[in-house]
Amino acid sequence: MHPILKLVAERLGIGLLLLLAASALIFGLTEVLPGDAAQAILGQAATPESLANLRTEMGLDRPAFTRYFEWLGGIMTGDMGVALTNKLPIGDQVASRMSNTLFLAFWAAIISVPLALVLGLIAVRYQNRWPDKIISGITLASISLPEFMIAYLLIFFFAVQLFWAPSFASINDSMTLLEQLHAISLPVAVLTLVVLAHMMRMTRAAILNVMQSAYIETAELKGLNTFAVIRKHAFPNAIAPIVNVVMINLAYLVVGVVVVEVVFAYPGMGQYLVDAVVKRDVPVVLACGVIFAAVYIILNIVADVVSILANPRLRHPK
Amino acid sequence: MTTSLLEVRGLKIGATVYPPGEKPHDIEIVHGVDFDVEPGKVLGLIGESGAGKSTIGLAAMAYGRGGVELTGGSVMVNGRDVLQSSTRDVRRLRGAEVTYVSQSAAASFNPAKQIMEQVIEAAVLHGKFNKSDAEQRACDLFAKLGLPDPDNIGNRYPHQVSGGQLQRCMTALALCPEPDLVVFDEPTTALDVTTQIDVLKAIKDAIRDTGVAALYITHDLAVVAQVSDHIMVLRMGEMVEYGTTDEIINHPKEDYTKALVSVRSIEHEEKQPTEPVLRVENITARYKGTKFDVLHNVSVDLSPGQTLAVVGESGSGKSTLARVITGLLPPRDGTITFAGRTLTPDQPSRSIEDLRELQMIYQMADTAMNPRQTVGTIIGRPLEFYFGLKGAEKQKRIQELLDEIELGKGFQDRYPAELSGGQKQRVCIARALAAKPKLIICDEVTSALDPLVADGILKLLLELQKIEDVAYLFITHDLATVRAIADSIAVMYQGRVQRYGTKSEVLTPPFDDYTDLLLSSVPEMKLGWLEDVIANRKMESAGN
């Protein structure tokens, strides 16, 4: 078998194991928390008898192991269970929430990733000169501010003062794409500012590291201009570390948007999770946890695979 | 003079240095150098490290490596002063009129791109050829340089070809845009001796066939004698002597040139074998996780107070043998007897006495010392560890050892960064001697040093051998070193001992084919040597 296929298969296997471990951990954590679904439903009015009855009815009196595997089996067949609060199947709600979150993450990524790479290249080209310092300064400032702070600042200026964009990012299927984009413009801007610095600085550091190599001197002695040297000879060798950071930030765009979704009242996964936690809707919390874990693991596998593919020694063995 | 292609006048080059414990300041590293290169001629620049030869070579492309700045004088290429040219004009010159071949092709090729793309890049960029013509020219050059499968080798990635082949690809890269001048910067120094002569021959033929002029930079006078028309000897940024190759090699005027020419003047009388202190019997070894033995049935003896030279090319197993003897790599089979005791295979289970009596000196003195410890601490450590010496007693012994390695009193408080390459290696020798060993394994201890400095280290080692009666297992690829210091020799080839005996036995014909190839490949300071050797070869070199 080609060594690359083997490495990719290995990564996929490890990813599956990791996901299994994460599901067990999430389930275990909700188990050790005080109270359970029965308690949550009955609330303050619970008597020991009614609690015991409801637990038997819901199967909660059975051992945790049995319930874990039952739950796991359900997830693997696409059945995530029923929400306690509204008795609706979790799967349907997750689907619509997830598509909203991915829509937001997608547009944030489309803007932030190329922008970070280009800014990183410019920072290298003008290393330690004013363009580098301005780029570093602005991106560092934006990552240093808490995201809700950036969000409120943007709302204040662009929604309250200038009326350019709505402060509530509610979208639905009846809107056109342009209307939707207009609705999410502020959350996308916030997310972009939050993830930009990390990716841009890694791009800068990874390329600068490569710029020390002897083959960069070879390229300069061929008469290439500095930007061509960076683009043609430095960047291809800096892909692996850059992709890793990009993927971590993409994962953040999906699973880390809780604050931004709450501030802009955006109907995504983050809102959904926060609601479920407040209402102690354990099955929903479990489902969200597993989905977030899966997103993280998948994106990291993608990063690993791209790093492997970027290495000519693995792509073209001797 | 209008006939000169390259005309350098009063070239001054400066750099900012950051010495430990001092403020950074500017120094001048080249102090006004004049020379010419005529079209189609080869000028050899020779000198030790720090002589400024690479810096001068790169100045022909208006390039200063690191913090180096071209501060004065003029460098005229085809009648234009490149030091006064705009960045744009300099870029038009680089890769078109002047090209560069570096010492390490392995580092100078971009690992992420195919060889062909990199070879033709400059020619296409400067509009000398279109892509397909450039590729055709590259293939012709690959063929001319004796590369295997010249039509397809360009599709490979740098890691897919050997070091010697990559060095030839680098030469093709430099010749592809039809430059007027090529700067060769130690192009064969990193290669094995048998590979070196093939590459040297390929470069020489390519220079002759394309009619290009060249600056050939090296520290090896014997190498430069084979390719140059003229030679300029440099020392500490100044010209020592300039002349035709014949004048420099056969009739040097300056003392420094004479010292370079007559290097390796060590007198050493061969000793006859006695009851061995180290006996290696039938050692077979392989690295963990691999499927092939790297040592096959290796047996050698070493008598007390004598030197056994283990010679061979990279990959022949000579350093692996050292790892087996020191216990870092337990062998699969075979025994090692040392000072009458059978050594346990792995190092952790050896007694402190075994460890003390078997010391090691490494190729890179730099990385073998803790940069944050003073020389006194470095040498003092084995004195504490093996003999429990403390205080005044320890200081006295450190001083004795420093005297033995011919370094003065002040060196005790210095840090490794404040020492020269030769001085560092001397400290490593003192550290090994501090343990009062019976055997020191010397792994390529002089290969990172300049010839004159290396000579000093070898003389010191021989002197210490007389005083301390210590045996050396001397691992090297340099046969000149072997001739200078060995009592017996083991020639290794592909993990086997190919030829073994006293020095006179091993160096007396008839030879087996490999020993013949190895011995004949050592460059000699003789005009026309290269052609004679190639014509009389019985075996292809391994690096091809």
Are B290 and B199 contained in the same domain? Answer: no
Residues in chain B with CB shorter than 8 Å from the CB of A218 are 100, 102, 108-110, 118, 173
Residues in chain A with CB shorter than 8 Å from the CB of B61 are 221
CATH of the domain at B474: 3.40.50.300
Q: Is residue B267 in some structural domain? A: no
The whole-number pLDDT of residue B211 equals 85
pLDDT per residue as tens digits for the range B176-188: 999 999 999 988 8
The whole-number pLDDT of residue B21 equals 67
The whole-number pLDDT of residue B263 equals 59
Q: Give how far B254 is from chain A: nearest CA, Å.
A: 35
Q: Is residue B429 in some structural domain? A: no
Alpha-carbon distances of B452 from B219, B242, B256, B262, B405, rounded to whole Å = 10, 20, 10, 10, 16
pLDDT band (50, 70, 90) for residue A218: very high
The predicted model gives B396-420 an average pLDDT of: 85
Closest B-chain CA to A221 = B94
Closest A-chain CA to B95 = A222
Q: Is residue A84 in some structural domain? A: no
Are B256 and B313 contained in the same domain? Answer: no
CATH of the domain at A248: 1.10.3720.10
The predicted model gives B207-234 an average pLDDT of: 89
Residues in chain B with CB shorter than 8 Å from the CB of A221 are 61, 63, 94-95, 99-100
Are B209 and B314 contained in the same domain? Answer: no
Alpha-carbon distances of B133 from A182, B48, B136, B176, rounded to whole Å = 53, 41, 5, 10
Quick one: how many helices (H) and strands (E) in chain B? 20, 20
Q: Is residue B150 in some structural domain? A: yes
Secondary structure of A165-197 as H, E, C letters: CCCCCCCCCCCCHHHHHHHCHHHHHHHHHHHHH
- Cα–Cα distance measured from residue B52 to residue B29, given in angstroms and rounded to the nearest whole number: 7
Are B255 and B283 contained in the same domain? Answer: no
The answer, for B95 touching chain A at a CB cutoff of 8 Å, is: yes
Are A97 and A72 contained in the same domain? Answer: no
Mean pLDDT, chain A, rounded, equals 85
Are B245 and B308 contained in the same domain? Answer: no
Residues in chain A with CB shorter than 8 Å from the CB of B90 are 223
Token output for B481: 């070193």
Token output for B423: 């001085």
User: In this complex, do A218 and B159 lie within 8 Å of one another by their Cβ atoms?
Assistant: no
Are A152 and A215 contained in the same domain? Answer: yes
B32-41, B248-257, B509-518, B525-534, range with the lowest pLDDT: B525-534
Point out the domain boundary residue: A76, A107, A138: A76
Out of B63, B107, B112, closest to residue A221 by CB: B63
The answer, for B53 touching chain A at a CB cutoff of 8 Å, is: no
Are A72 and A133 contained in the same domain? Answer: no
| Residue A224 half-sphere exposure toward CB, CA atoms < 13 A | 21
Q: Which residue has the higher pLDDT, B22 or A245?
A: A245
Are B343 and B246 contained in the same domain? Answer: no
Is pLDDT at B367 greater than 90 in this prediction?
Answer: no
- Asked if residue B218 lies in contact with residue B44, where contact means CB atoms within 8 angstroms, the answer is yes
pLDDT per residue as tens digits for the range A231-289: 899 988 998 889 988 998 998 888 878 888 888 888 888 888 888 888 878 888 888 88
pLDDT per residue as tens digits for the range B428-481: 999 999 999 999 999 888 877 877 788 888 988 998 998 889 999 999 888 878
User: In this complex, do A217 and B65 lie within 8 Å of one another by their Cβ atoms?
Assistant: yes
Q: Is residue A82 in some structural domain? A: no
Are B295 and B239 contained in the same domain? Answer: no
The whole-number pLDDT of residue A118 equals 92
The answer, for B68 touching chain A at a CB cutoff of 8 Å, is: no
pLDDT per residue as tens digits for the range B51-100: 888 889 999 998 988 778 888 888 999 888 988 888 899 999 999 999 99
Is pLDDT at A45 greater than 80 in this prediction?
Answer: no
Is pLDDT at B1 greater than 50 in this prediction?
Answer: no
SS3 B440: strand
Are A67 and A94 contained in the same domain? Answer: no
Q: Is residue A83 in some structural domain? A: no
The answer, for B65 touching chain A at a CB cutoff of 8 Å, is: yes
Are A18 and A128 contained in the same domain? Answer: no
Long-range pairs for A128-134: beta carbons < 8 A, 24 or more residues apart: A132/A204
User: In this complex, do A217 and B113 lie within 8 Å of one another by their Cβ atoms?
Assistant: no
Is pLDDT at B314 greater than 80 in this prediction?
Answer: no
The answer, for B125 touching chain A at a CB cutoff of 8 Å, is: yes
The answer, for B96 touching chain A at a CB cutoff of 8 Å, is: yes
The answer, for A223 touching chain B at a CB cutoff of 8 Å, is: yes
Query: Which DSSP category does B114 fall into?
Result: -
Are B180 and B45 contained in the same domain? Answer: yes
Q: Is residue B108 in some structural domain? A: yes
Count up the domains in chain A and report the number. Answer: 2
The whole-number pLDDT of residue B242 equals 92
Most confident range (mean pLDDT) of A117-126, B17-26, B197-206 is A117-126
For chain B, what's the residue count? 544
- Cα–Cα distance measured from residue B533 to residue B528, given in angstroms and rounded to the nearest whole number: 9
Q: Which residue has the higher pLDDT, B268 or B356?
A: B356
The whole-number pLDDT of residue B98 equals 93
- Asked if residue B507 lies in contact with residue B483, where contact means CB atoms within 8 angstroms, the answer is yes
User: In this complex, do B100 and A218 lie within 8 Å of one another by their Cβ atoms?
Assistant: yes
The rounded percent of chain B whose pLDDT value lies above 70 is 97
Q: Is residue A85 in some structural domain? A: no
Q: Is residue A288 in some structural domain? A: yes
Are A68 and A104 contained in the same domain? Answer: no
Are A121 and A62 contained in the same domain? Answer: no
Out of A223, A233, A316, closest to residue B125 by CB: A223
Q: Is residue B156 in some structural domain? A: yes
The whole-number pLDDT of residue B265 equals 62
Are B164 and B234 contained in the same domain? Answer: yes
Q: Give how far B354 is from chain A: nearest CA, Å.
A: 42
Q: Is residue B513 in some structural domain? A: no
User: In this complex, do A225 and B112 lie within 8 Å of one another by their Cβ atoms?
Assistant: no
Q: Is residue B422 in some structural domain? A: no
Are A53 and A196 contained in the same domain? Answer: no
The whole-number pLDDT of residue A182 equals 84
Out of B94, B113, B157, closest to residue A222 by CB: B94
Most confident range (mean pLDDT) of A86-95, B127-136, B401-410 is B127-136
* DSSP sequence for B334-400: EEEEETTEEPPSSGGGS-HHHHHHEEEE-S-TTTTS-TTS-HHHHHHHHHHHHH---HHHHHHHHHH
**Most B CBs within 10 Å, among A212, A216, A222, to test the B interface:** A222
Are A198 and A290 contained in the same domain? Answer: yes
The answer, for A316 touching chain B at a CB cutoff of 8 Å, is: yes
Q: Is residue A116 in some structural domain? A: yes
Closest A-chain CA to B156 = A316
Query: Measuring CA to CA, which residue among B140, B154, B12 is closest to residue B73?
Result: B12
Q: What is the side-by-side strand order in the sheet with B341-342?
A: B295-302, B278-285, B333-338, B341-342
Is pLDDT at A178 greater than 90 in this prediction?
Answer: no
Q: Could you tell me the residue range of the domain that residue A297 belongs to?
A: 90-315
The answer, for B113 touching chain A at a CB cutoff of 8 Å, is: yes
Estimate to the nearest angstrom the gap between the alpha carbon of B98 and the chain centroid.
Answer: 26
CA angle A196, A202, A203 (to 5 degrees): 85
Are B210 and B325 contained in the same domain? Answer: no
User: In this complex, do A237 and B110 lie within 8 Å of one another by their Cβ atoms?
Assistant: yes
The answer, for A217 touching chain B at a CB cutoff of 8 Å, is: yes
The answer, for A209 touching chain B at a CB cutoff of 8 Å, is: no
The whole-number pLDDT of residue A3 equals 75
The whole-number pLDDT of residue B19 equals 67
Are A94 and A69 contained in the same domain? Answer: no
* DSSP sequence for B24-68: -EEEEEEEEEEEEE-TT-EEEEE--TTSSHHHHHHHTTT---TT-
Q: Is residue A309 in some structural domain? A: yes
Are B294 and B174 contained in the same domain? Answer: no
Q: B338: which strand partners? A: B278, B341
Are B290 and B230 contained in the same domain? Answer: no
The predicted model gives B216-226 an average pLDDT of: 87
Count up the domains in chain B and report the number. Answer: 2
Token output for B349: 């289970």
**Most B CBs within 10 Å, among A218, A225, A307, A308, to test the B interface:** A218
Alpha-carbon distances of B206 from A48, A121, B75, rounded to whole Å = 96, 39, 26
- Cα–Cα distance measured from residue A249 to residue A197, given in angstroms and rounded to the nearest whole number: 10
Q: Is residue B72 in some structural domain? A: no
The answer, for A215 touching chain B at a CB cutoff of 8 Å, is: yes
Spatial CB neighbours of B279, under 8 Å, sequence gap ≥ 6: B301, B302, B336, B337, B338
Q: Could you tell me the residue range of the domain that residue B448 belongs to?
A: 278-367+438-508
Point out the domain boundary residue: B234, B261, B288: B261
Closest B-chain CA to A233 = B110
**Most A CBs within 10 Å, among B87, B89, B115, B121, to test the A interface:** B121
Q: Is residue A107 in some structural domain? A: yes
Is pLDDT at B544 greater than 50 in this prediction?
Answer: no
Mean pLDDT, chain B, rounded, equals 87
Out of A214, A221, A237, closest to residue B94 by CB: A221
Residues in chain B with CB shorter than 8 Å from the CB of A316 are 156-157, 159-160
Angle between helices A90-125 and A235-255 (to 10 degrees): 150
The whole-number pLDDT of residue B27 equals 83
pLDDT band (50, 70, 90) for residue B538: low
User: In this complex, do B110 and A233 lie within 8 Å of one another by their Cβ atoms?
Assistant: yes
Is pLDDT at B542 greater than 60 in this prediction?
Answer: no
User: In this complex, do B104 and A318 lie within 8 Å of one another by their Cβ atoms?
Assistant: no
Is pLDDT at A55 greater than 50 in this prediction?
Answer: yes
